[in-house]
Structure 1
Amino acid sequence: MEVEHVSENMIRVVLGSHDLEERGVTMLDLLGNRKQIEAFFYSILEEVDTDHTFTQDQTVTFQVVPKNNGLELLISKAPKNGQDKSSQDENQLLQTLGLVDTTDDVADTVDNTDSSSVTKVLVFKFTDFEDFVSLSKVLTAESILSTLFKYQGTYYLELTVYVDELHSITMDNLVALIQEYGQLVQESPEILAEFGQAVMEQSALELARYYFK
C-alpha cells in the first residue's frame, strides 16, 4: 500500500490487488455492497491517519478510481462551513486527476465556491444496464463525476460535469452522445440519493469500463 500526505487536508492511498487480498476484499465486493465500501474506506483511514487528525471531530470524503487491478483512494477533510481556500486548491487537484467534479442544475450555474467554474448536473435514465455499459465504453471525457443509481427498478446515471474543463467534447455533443444510450430526465439527484440504491459511486463510467470489457 502506498500512502502520500498530499496536504494537511488530503491523503492519497494506492492499494494493489494484494493489498485488497490481505484485507479479505475484492473490487467486486466493494462494488456490490455500499456498507462494505464505507467500512473498508474507514478502515484504511484508520491505518493511514496515524495522528488522528482526520478522524477527530472531522467529516471526511472519499474519491476512488480503479488502478492496475487495485484502486487509488483520495481521502479529504470536508470543510465544516463552506470551502476555504485550501479546500478549493485540493478540489482543483482532484479535477486535474480526473477524480472529482461538482455541478448544480441542468441549466448552467456558477459554483458558489469557485465563481470561475461553470458546472452542470445531468440525470439520464437507461432502459437496461447494458445500455449504460455500452455508454461507458464510448464516453471517456474527463472532468465528469458519475454515479449510477437503481431507483424503482430503473438505472439512472447522475453526471456532474465541469463545463470549463471539457476539452475533447462540447456540452451539446456530450448530451447528444449520452442520449444515444439513455434518456435525459428531470429526476432530482436528491431523490435518487435518498430513495435510490447507489450501484457505483463517483466513478461509475470508469468502473463499468474496467469490469465490463
Structure 2
Amino acid sequence: MDNTELNSERELLAQVAAGDEAAFRTVVRFYHPRVFSHALAFTKSYPEAEEITQDIFLKVWQQRDKLPAIESFRNFLYISGRNQIISSMRKQVMQTGQTTEDPLEENLLPDQQYQYKEMYHLILKAIEQLPPQQKAVFTLSRLEHLSHEQIAEKLNISKHAVNWHIVQALGNLRNYLANYPEVLILLITIAPMY
C-alpha cells in the first residue's frame, strides 16, 4: 500500500470513527471479501463464515472510536478475524464436547486430517529453509501470533524490518511451495489475509 492509499484509508477510518455510516459501508465493501474468504478457509461453512465476518465488522463499528490509533487496519482485521474464528471454534468444541489442539484439523474428515498434516509439514519444512532472521520473524508472527511490535522488541529490530522480513519470507515460501498449490492455500490461512 503506497502513501496515497494509506492516507486515504486513514481519512476513511477517521470518518468511520466520527460515526459516518457511509464511510463504514465503504470499508465493509472493500474488506468483506477478504475477511469472508479467510473465515471460510477455516470454517469450511458459508453461513458460519458469514456470521464470523458480520461479527468482526460489528466489533469494528462498536469500537470505531479506537480506529484513528490503529497503525495497520489490515493487521487489526487479521487479528480480529483470527480471534473471532478461534472463539467460534472453541464454542463448537464446548458444544460437542470434543477436545483438540487444532480446531481446524478437528473439523476435517480423517482423510482430510492426514492431508492437512502433510501440507502443514511441507510448510514447516519450507519455513526451515528460510534465512535465519526471516525464519525467526515469520515463526514469531505466524506460528506464535506475536504482533509486529512484540517481534521488534524481542528481536531488537524495527517494526519496518519485521514487516520487510515477513514479506520476504512469504515470497520465499510461495516460491518454495510453487509446485504445491493446495499447500499455498493452507499457507494463506496462517499468513495475513491481505
Give the TM-score, by structure 2 length.
Answer: 0.34
Q: Give 1 or 2: higher helix fraction.
A: 2
Return the TM-score normalized by structure 1: 0.32
More strand by share: 1
